Amino acid sequence: MAPSLDPPLVSYYITGFKGSSCRSETMLTALLLLWLGAFLLFLKLRIWRPKNFPPGPTPIPFFGNLLQLDCTNPLKDLDKFAQRYGSLYSLYIGRQPAVVLAGQKVIREALVTQGVEFAGRSDTMFVSHITKNKGVIMADFGEGWREHRRFALTTLRNFGLGKRSMEERILEEVKYICLHLEESAGKSIDPKHLFHQAASNIIASIIFGSRFNYEDEYFQTLLTTIEQLTKIVIGPWAMLYEIAPAIRIFPLPFRKGFDYFDQIKEHILKVVSEHKKSRVAGEPRDLIDCYLEEMEKRADQRTTFDDSQMVTLLFDLFVAGTDTTSITLRTLTLYLMTHMHIQEQCQKEIDEVLGAREHVTFEDKNAMPYVQAVIHEGQRVADIVPLSMFHTASTNTKLQGYNIPKGTIIIPYLSSALREESLWKFPHEFNPQNFLNEKGEFVKPEAFLPFSAGSRVCLGESLARMELFLIMVTILRRFRLIWPEDAGTPDFTLIYGGTQSSKPYPLRVQLRAQGKTCES
């Protein structure tokens, strides 16, 4: 006989079964909703590769390919990607698509042959927001950029770029370098600040109409502020600012970048205010006077020339005219100290060409192929701006058969060209033979791209070439550059950044018997 169940017990089992079933359904529904939410979030964060986009490593949500790059120095990782995917490949900076140009052929194809398509600038970068895309360096491709670039080049030429008057400005500053070196003869010094101050003063004399005393406390503060700003705009907080816009409202360290720029802007506006009061119409003393005259000419026109544009243009020229030259001088000095046979060969050529003449001129470069080769080799190994300034595609276009959507970041990997193995005799060592032919004549290979190429080529290229030649020849004519005996083994490792530089090192100088003194 089957066992019987009391009604209350039956009710308990039925209720328990129903409750268990309901809980299972609730859990299943919750899991389905959780899975669906995760799937939708994945779809939202997933980075979609455009059709026929250049190949590259697989990006991950939010970060893109950033976690696959060594943040302290990504160049080795970029080299590995080039070996795997070719000279044209893609990366993602967060969700922002980018294309890397590796090797001089593809760099020239993009920046020269297709220069208009790839002349844009990003409006999402930290430095773009600091400068508000004004001036010339971070200004987007368009009429305003063209007008200001044309104005800057014309004004620099009018103030003697490539002429005797510019030589005189540079040689005047060289006197202060030499006096400092003479006073330091026999001692160990750090040449970083000396070269930085000299390069700053040369460009300051052009744009502000005056120079600073090296010991001036305000000058030191200004240079330090620019240095701190440079570190922030290429640092990790700038990267977070770009890939995570939501954090921009918080008081995080990137805000210091805006503060530093405001401090520099305050100095520039003060100088501009003084110029407005003291200038004489038709008699420009410097680039500021020229800009103020240009503003007056365009007063009744629709124009991009105004005070805010002027401040950023002056900032661009001051910073760009300082860093590249001073870093190259430091790199050259390091290699000349540690390669005495190269230094002595330079001095022999300098003595033969100049003889008893008082000053070097820029034209003398044509009679000094070896010195020219050494200076250019210094620029090559200095590799100052390995990733150039990022461009963007200004329109939907193609490059080497791949689709490049408008707005894609373009990264000219200049470092890859400067050490491209198939194009240099000695790609991985300091050797002037990279710029000399079999007859000992100076030649400049197409892979020499320290200033980039195309319509965005560095504004200060001509000035930098003149500075490097006149400064180095004058110094080598008067001094022997010596690596201190107690300084240990030289370290040629570069400190990676938006601008790379040599590690700090000590320098000793010794007066040469046949060299002219600073009083001559």
> Using one digit for the tens of pLDDT, what is the confidence trace for 384-441?
999 999 999 999 999 999 999 999 999 999 999 999 999 999 999 999 999 999 999 9
| Among candidate residues 161, 137, 160, the one with its CA nearest the CA of residue 149 | 137
Phi, psi for 240 (deg, rounded to 5)? -65, -40
> Does residue 282 surpass a pLDDT of 50?
yes
**What's the chain's average pLDDT?**
88
Q: What is the pLDDT of residue 37?
A: 57
Q: What is the pLDDT of residue 46?
A: 58
Q: What is the pLDDT of residue 301?
A: 82
Q: Is residue 31 part of a domain?
A: no
Q: What is the pLDDT of residue 223?
A: 85
* pLDDT (mean) for 147-165: 80
pLDDT tens profile 477-516: 999 999 999 999 999 999 987 788 999 999 999 999 765 5
* pLDDT (mean) for 334-341: 97
> Does residue 6 surpass a pLDDT of 60?
no
Give the CATH number of the domain where residue 400 resides.
1.10.630.10
CA distances from 33 to 22, 46, 381 (A): 16, 19, 57
Q: Is residue 56 part of a domain?
A: no
Name 63's Cβ contacts closer than 8 Å, sequence gap at least 6: 94, 243
Q: What is the pLDDT of residue 10?
A: 45
Which tokens in the block code for residue 31?
A: 């899991």
Q: What is the pLDDT of residue 162?
A: 54
Name 491's Cβ contacts closer than 8 Å, sequence gap at least 6: 503, 505
> Does residue 39 surpass a pLDDT of 60?
no
Q: Is residue 27 part of a domain?
A: no
Q: Is residue 294 part of a domain?
A: yes
Q: In terms of residue numbers, what domain contains 114? A: 66-511
Specify whether the CB–CB gap between 414 and 381 falls below 8 A: no
Q: What is the pLDDT of residue 97?
A: 94
Q: Is residue 35 part of a domain?
A: no
Q: What is the pLDDT of residue 163?
A: 55
Q: What is the pLDDT of residue 226?
A: 86
Q: How confident is the model at residue 259 (pLDDT cuts 50, 70, 90)?
A: very high
Q: How confident is the model at residue 17 (pLDDT cuts 50, 70, 90)?
A: very low
* pLDDT (mean) for 345-363: 95
Q: Is residue 210 part of a domain?
A: yes
Q: What is the pLDDT of residue 13?
A: 42
Q: How confident is the model at residue 24 (pLDDT cuts 50, 70, 90)?
A: low
Q: Is residue 209 part of a domain?
A: yes
Q: Is 417 exposed, middle or buried (0-12, 13-18, 19+ CB in 10 A)?
A: buried
Q: Pairing mode, if any, of strands 479-482 and 402-404?
A: unpaired
> Does residue 210 surpass a pLDDT of 60?
yes
Between residues 7 and 458, the one the model is more confident about? 458
Q: What is the pLDDT of residue 520?
A: 46
| Among candidate residues 325, 227, 208, 324, the one with its CA nearest the CA of residue 267 | 208
Q: What is the pLDDT of residue 62?
A: 82
Q: Is residue 461 part of a domain?
A: yes
Count of domains in the chain?
Answer: 1
Buried b (16+ CB within 10 A) or exposed e, 464-488: bbbbbbbbbbbbbbbbbbbbeeeee
